[in-house]
Amino acid sequence: MAKTKSAYFCQSCGYESAKWLGKCPSCNQWNTFVEEIIDKGNVATWKSASGTQRLNKPNKVEEIQSADEERTTTSDAELDRVLGGGLVAGSVTLIGGEPGIGKSTLMLQLALNVEGRKVLYVSGEESEQQIKMRAERITKDPKSNCYILTETSTQNIFKQIEQLEPEIVIIDSIQTLHSAHIESTPGSVSQVRECTAELLRFAKETNTPVFLIGHITKDGAIAGPKILEHMVDTVLQFEGDRHHIYRILRSIKNRFGAAAELGIYAMQSSGLREVSNPSEILLSQRDEELSGITIGATLEGARPMLIETQALVSVAAYGTPQRSATGFDTKRMNMLLAVLEKRCGFRLSAKDVFLNIAGGIKVEDPAIDLAIMAAIISSHEDIFISSKICFAAEVGLSGEIRAVNRIEQRISEAEKLGFEKIFISNYNLKGLVKDKFKIEIITVSKIEEVFSLLFG
Ligand code: TYD
Ligand code: MG
């Protein structure tokens, strides 16, 4: 019998050690080491048992043949955009997201809708019947040849793949797979790493695109070792509020395109529907003007989006004022509040401040700063700001209004949606042809100016 070998793995970063350690030398986390049995003897993975190993030689960069990146459409415009313009042959894409957000639905929808291709959907989480039921909700007549396999052993999956020869493989989820060559339980660091490595080898050798669904931990990181994210070509995050219908697919890493691209979907009873014009749904149709609401012209990826921000400022009911933000970084909100207090003299330190980005969207673009500050002051003073005004500027610590990137795109989007005025930074004026736009462009350089223009 082969001797079993074990090692200790940090559950946070995947660091491997021969003995147990209290603190991980790599990521400095405490108590993260768990013993896992590994058996690396006679590893037979994707064809490596039969095939001879190819030895790579160094090649001069000019002599390397540039292969045209073959891109194919996934029949889902949002997903294509997030992937950087379509699916690349031999790429491995990891999709992470909270339970119930719709990862399986998104992937099954892809499996059913890619036109005329043979797709293998491997599920280790649901039964064939469950998947069939879901497939019926999504579409009545699939446009692809979609095969479902319920299996968790990578060796068996590869056997089926060799017979079926699918053009796209989807794995739901990587944490349920196990490789016979490693003895630890599915979902453990070494299993996840090994299974991913095997699938990666398969993808690269056969030029088949592979999608992996990954679970996330309670802090929102993809479960398993961080190296999982390093191994794959593309990491996508599927997020949104389960109580809202909108879901956002964000690219975090993409070897074949721009990161920070974004796709928006609406979860309906018949699956996910692409949302091609996000601004219209993110702006609520207001009949009357209300205080505490402003619109920010943000950019997510390469796409401009007008987003409604809502603030509520009220007298603190308890000694310590509450500060809470949904869809926006609370630390950054606190910073903006400090700027308002110090530079503009608003007495906000004894006030509760609540902030909400409409539609359950998370915004990281700093260009929303000015809209947020205006919403807070509008609520504080209880004076409404016209719904025909929008904002696109970052605010610095001394209250200066800073320039943001791609200002023309933001202005055009605001103009397209019928806004009458947009506040931007003075520093954004360089190279900007103001006359081109019909919308009134108001340039400011200090936060005080904004408030005197808004509230007189
Ligand atoms: P699911 O894809 O199972 O999530 P994940 O794989 O990320 O855990 O998402 C399931 C949720 O989506 C579930 O709450 C039901 C809902 N849903 C719809 O609203 N409409 C649909 O057509 C489908 C298939 C699911
Ligand atoms: Mg699922």
Residue ending a domain, among 233, 250, 276, is: 276
* Distance (Å) from CA 138 to ligand 2 centroid: 15
Among the residue ranges 69-78, 163-172, 180-189, 212-221, the one predicted with the least confidence is 212-221
What confidence score (pLDDT) does residue 56 get?
78
Same domain, 315 and 355: yes
For residue 176 and ligand 1, the question of a CB distance below 6 A is answered with no
pTM of the model: 0.75
Dihedral sign for Cα atoms in the order 27, 28, 31, 36: positive
Res. 379: pLDDT tops 90: yes
Same domain, 256 and 366: no
Sheet holding 16-17: strands in order across? 16-17, 5-10, 33-38
Res. 29: pLDDT tops 60: yes
Whether 54 is covered by a domain: the verdict is: no
Whether 66 is covered by a domain: the verdict is: no
Same domain, 163 and 127: yes
For residue 267 and ligand 1, the question of a CB distance below 6 A is answered with yes
Res. 443: pLDDT tops 50: yes
* Of residues 36 and 260, more confidently modeled: 36
Ligand nearest to the CA of 97: 1
Same domain, 75 and 195: yes
% of the chain with per-residue pLDDT over 90: 48
Residue ending a domain, among 236, 254, 276, is: 276
Same domain, 12 and 106: no
Residue 66: band (very low, low, confident or very high) from pLDDT cuts 50, 70, 90 = confident
The one-letter amino acid code at 210 reads V
* Of residues 307 and 262, more confidently modeled: 307
For residue 95 and ligand 1, the question of a CB distance below 6 A is answered with no
* Of residues 225 and 413, more confidently modeled: 413
Whether 52 is covered by a domain: the verdict is: no
Domain that holds residue 20: 5-38
Same domain, 251 and 310: no
The number of the ligand 1 atom at minimal distance from the alpha carbon of 108 is: 2
For residue 124 and ligand 1, the question of a CB distance below 6 A is answered with no
- In 58-154, at which residue ranges do the beta strands (DSSP E only) sit? 71-72, 87-88, 92-97, 118-123, 145-150
Res. 3: pLDDT tops 70: no
Res. 386: pLDDT tops 50: yes
Same domain, 434 and 318: yes
In tens, the pLDDT along 298-332 reads 987 777 889 999 999 999 888 889 999 999 999 99
* Distance (Å) from CA 415 to ligand 2 centroid: 40
What confidence score (pLDDT) does residue 196 get?
93
- Coil, helix or strand for 105? helix
Same domain, 24 and 165: no
Task: Please report, for the domain that includes residue 293, its CATH number.
Answer: 3.30.230.10
Whether 60 is covered by a domain: the verdict is: no
Residue ending a domain, among 229, 255, 276, is: 276
Cis amide linkage into residue 173, ω under 30° from 0 = yes
Ligand nearest to the CA of 216: 1
* Of residues 188 and 265, more confidently modeled: 265
What confidence score (pLDDT) does residue 50 get?
45
Task: Please report, for the domain that includes residue 242, its CATH number.
Answer: 3.40.50.300
* Distance (Å) from CA 356 to ligand 1 centroid: 25
User: Averaged over 166-171, what is the pLDDT?
Assistant: 95
* Distance (Å) from CA 150 to ligand 2 centroid: 13
What confidence score (pLDDT) does residue 220 get?
63
For residue 30, list its beta bridge partners. Answer: 23
* H/E run at residue 111: helix 103-113
Res. 5: pLDDT tops 80: no
In tens, the pLDDT along 343-374 reads 889 999 889 999 999 877 888 899 999 999 99
* Of residues 276 and 178, more confidently modeled: 178
Whether 178 is covered by a domain: the verdict is: yes
Distance, in Å, from the CA atom of 143 to the CA atom of 271, rounded to the nearest integer, reads 15
* H/E run at residue 203: helix 189-206
What confidence score (pLDDT) does residue 311 get?
95
Res. 142: pLDDT tops 80: yes
Same domain, 124 and 238: yes
In tens, the pLDDT along 226-248 reads 778 889 999 998 888 777 788 88
Whether 62 is covered by a domain: the verdict is: no
Same domain, 185 and 271: yes
Structural tokens at position 62: 């000019």
| 10: CB partners within 8 A, 6+ apart | 16, 17, 24, 26, 27, 29, 32, 33, 189, 225
Res. 199: pLDDT tops 70: yes
* Distance (Å) from CA 174 to ligand 2 centroid: 11
Same domain, 220 and 367: no
What confidence score (pLDDT) does residue 49 get?
43
Ligand nearest to the CA of 175: 2
Mean pLDDT (the chain) is 87
Same domain, 251 and 321: no
Structural tokens at position 144: 């692809």
* Distance (Å) from CA 102 to ligand 1 centroid: 5
What confidence score (pLDDT) does residue 45 get?
58
Domain count, the chain: 3
